[in-house]
Structure formats: C-alpha cells, structure tokens
Amino acid sequence: MHQTDSAQTTAPAVPRQAAAPTGLSPSRAGDFMTCPLLYRLRVIDRLPEPPSPAATRGTVVHAVLERLFDHPPAERTPERALSLLHPQWQRLLTERPELAELFPGDEDGSAVARWLRDAEKLLGQWFRLEDPTRLHPAERELYVETVLGSGLLLRGYIDRVDVAPTGEVRLVDYKTGRAPSRDFEGKAMFQMKFYALVVWRWKGVIPRRLQLVYLGGGGDVVTYDPDEADLLAVERKLEALWEAISDAVATGRFPATRNRLCDWCDHQASCPEFGGTPPPYPLPVQAGPDGPTDLAGPARPDEPKGDESNKES
C-alpha cells in the first residue's frame, strides 16, 4: 500500500527460499500486470529489496495514523499525531535495525531530521483532508482474505474500515505519494476494488464507498462507489490473471516488460531489458511440445504483457 522511490544502499539481506505462489494480493497482482519478471523475482525467487526512505516514511506515517485512533476523538489533534511520530520511528528501528543504514554518514542526525519533517508535512496534510474527531473506524490495518469458488486465495491489508450507523461500509487507504492524473485513477482504484471484492465474498457486503487519501503534493481524496457488476468484473479479471500466473509458474516464462516504473526497480541487474540476467529459475519447468522452454526468450503473442492500465499506485 506504500510507494517507493530509488533505493539506498543497506547491508545485504539473505534471500528467502524460493516458493511457488499461493494466492494474490493487490500489490503482487499489480506486479504481474506491470512486469511478469518483477513478479517472479519478488514472489518466487524472493530476492531481497533494500528499504528506501520514501517507503519507510510511508510505513511510519501509516503507523501514526493507526495509533492516533487509540485516543478519544477530542484528543486526535495534529499535536497528538506529531507526538506519535518519533516513538513510531523508534519502534520501527527496534524491529528492523537495518533501517539505521538509510542515512549513511548522518553523524549529526540532520538527514533524519529532514526526513521526519517531511513526514510531519504528510501528517499535516491529512488533517486538512479528513477530520479524525468525526471518524469512528471499525477496523484499522485489517487483514482480509477469502477463497473464490475457483480456489484462488485473495488477501491483503486495508488501512481503515469505517462503518456508518446504517451499516454502510467505507474502505479507506492512505497514500503518501501524489494523487495520480485522471488517466491513471483507474490503476490506483484497482487495489481498492480488489479489497471490496474480498470483503464482499468474505462478509457478503458490498462496500458503499472506496476512498484513497493522497497525502503527497497538494493532497487529494479520490472516491469510487462500486456495485456488483464492478466486483464481478474484477473477479473475472483476477481469475484470468491467476490462470496466466499459473501458466508462467509451470513454464518458467516471466518476460520483462519495460514500463514507467523501471527507473525505480531494484532488480535491474537481473533484468534483460537492462543487460542483466535473471537467476536460474528455481521451480520445476514443464517442457513444451517443441522441447524445454526458453526462459530468456521474448513473450509469445498469447502470453500476458504488463498491463499498465491496472497498476496500483
């Protein structure tokens, strides 16, 4: 649910053991539609990715907004939010000591201070977009999952779930980046429709409203009211996507697809588009009728390409 920028150098992490995918989250669905090779390197090869200041700042801001609702409505003030910022950063540092390497050579702490001031600006922006004294979240950082009739497991975390006295449900997600242009709003909302589908299939309730709260730039709130037809279309899309992923897993064919996010990708050294070579495919491969699959070859016309129209932000 958070956006990253270019990575910083940190201590190398140890790759986890390769594994076949067991289900879909919005982020990983977006990865495959944007670049199948990126999906493979993250989900199957499970290559480590260094943390970035932007992604880590997003994590801290999300934690502050979650903890703010521990307090009574009258105490959900900008001052209270700022008072939570440093403790949440310290908590994250304790849990993930490698984050101390985000700011190498910062002996006087000035880089961290600037980074925290940027987080303060994001929090201030949120108070201009929403009034937490009037909000009563039913859930925060809610883990949701459901299994479709086909057996496909869908899962993810929803930042906030609001339930009106009348029972209507609103799903809210915080974004610490800028709001997308109108041409890309549909991509950003794909993630929320994914969550709406999970809630519908899990609880039998179609959320009344989906809401993206953008804290970067000038700030913005983007909403969408889904209906059953919308969610059925998302379900069909995800079923087709999972079929394409399953075929790629079986054959080992995960073509690299150039897209607007390539400049920020941590895996250029493993990408043929940048002169790199993917690691050996770690799962068993089914041989096709013409012999073993050429894992480094181009995508066949009938294979899925990265679909920019549905890449989540």
Residue 186 is predicted with a pLDDT of 77
Read off φ and ψ for residue 74, nearest 5 degrees: -65, -20
Beta strands in 148-265 (DSSP E): 153-163, 169-175, 209-214, 220-224
Q: Is the pLDDT of residue 301 over 50?
A: no
Burial status of residue 30 (CB atoms within 10 A of its CB: 0-12, 13-18, 19 or more): buried
Q: Which of 216, 239, 233, 158 is nearest to 191 (CA)?
A: 158
pTM given for the model: 0.84
In tens, the pLDDT along 210-223 reads 999 999 999 999 99
Query: For the residues 1-22, what does the mean pLDDT come to?
Result: 56
3-state secondary structure of 291: strand
Strand partners, 220: 214
pLDDT category at 69 given cuts 50, 70, 90 is very high
The arrangement of strands across the sheet holding 220-224 comes to 137-147, 153-163, 169-175, 209-214, 220-224
Q: Exposure string (b/e) for 264-291, b if CB count within 10 Å is 16 or more?
A: ebbbeebbeeeeeebeebeeeeeeeeee
Express each pLDDT in 97-145 by its tens digit. Answer: 999 899 998 889 999 999 999 999 999 999 999 999 999 999 999 999 9
What angle do the packed helices 228-251 and 185-203 form, to 10 degrees? 100
Q: Which whole-number Å values give the CA distances from 172 to 7, 24, 162, 252, in the listed order?
A: 27, 20, 8, 36
Tokens standing for residue 1: 């649910």
pLDDT tens for each residue of 85-95: 999 999 999 99
What's the pLDDT at 287?
A: 65
